[in-house]
């Protein structure tokens, strides 16, 4: 049972992981282990929900019709999630900053893996993804 190309092929479970990550990102401001209440930071909540929905939506698009721009957008969304506590100003929130940095790093790594897997594929091969 040799599967030497396991990480060389874009698989549908990666898209499902992206959708799960998007849902977790949306829920992250309300995780139970928080130093303080996040309710006073509407901008942080809106940003988190928007990034989570973008990651979720792009992962759904990858599942249906794979294209390289989706993976680049996933990487950019992950990088924004990492930077957003510092840009928006909730970096002092402790666990929320740690959640967003960690989740953003996982999103970036997933996007890089998928982009690397699909780098040499032509457009016809990309369209066959998931079928």
Tens digits of residue pLDDT in 88-129: 888 776 788 888 999 999 999 999 988 887 777 666 665 565
pLDDT higher for 9 or 47? 47
Question: What is the torsion angle, in degrees rounded to the nearest 10, for the CA atoms of residue 16, residue 22, residue 25 and residue 27?
Answer: -90
Q: Is the pLDDT of residue 131 over 60?
A: no
Whole-angstrom distance, CA of residue 131 vs CA of residue 60: 14
Q: Is the pLDDT of residue 35 over 80?
A: no
The CA-based angle 34-39-43, given to 5 degrees, is: 105
Residues 6 or more apart whose CB falls under 8 angstroms from that of 109 comprise 78
Tell me the domain boundaries of the chain.
12-25+39-127
Query: In percent, how much of the chain has pLDDT > 90?
Result: 37
**Average pLDDT for 41-70:** 87
Give the pTM.
0.81
Give the tokens for residue 48. Answer: 């988190």
Q: Is 107 exposed, middle or buried (0-12, 13-18, 19+ CB in 10 A)?
A: buried
């Amino acid at each position: 049972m040799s599967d030497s190309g396991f990480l060389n092929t874009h698989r549908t479970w990666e898209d499902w992981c992206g959708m799960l990550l998007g849902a977790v990102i949306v829920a992250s401001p309300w995780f139970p282990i928080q130093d303080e209440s996040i309710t006073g930071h509407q901008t942080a909540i809106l940003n988190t929900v928007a990034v989570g929905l973008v990651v979720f939506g792009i992962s759904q698009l990858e599942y249906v019709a794979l294209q390289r721009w989706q993976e680049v957008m996933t990487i950019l969304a992950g990088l924004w999630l990492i930077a957003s506590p510092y840009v928006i100003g909730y970096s002092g929130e402790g666990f929320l900053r740690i959640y967003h940095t960690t989740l953003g790093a996982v999103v970036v790594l997933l996007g890089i893996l998928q982009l690397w897997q699909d780098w040499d594929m032509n457009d016809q091969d990309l369209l066959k993804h998931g079928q």
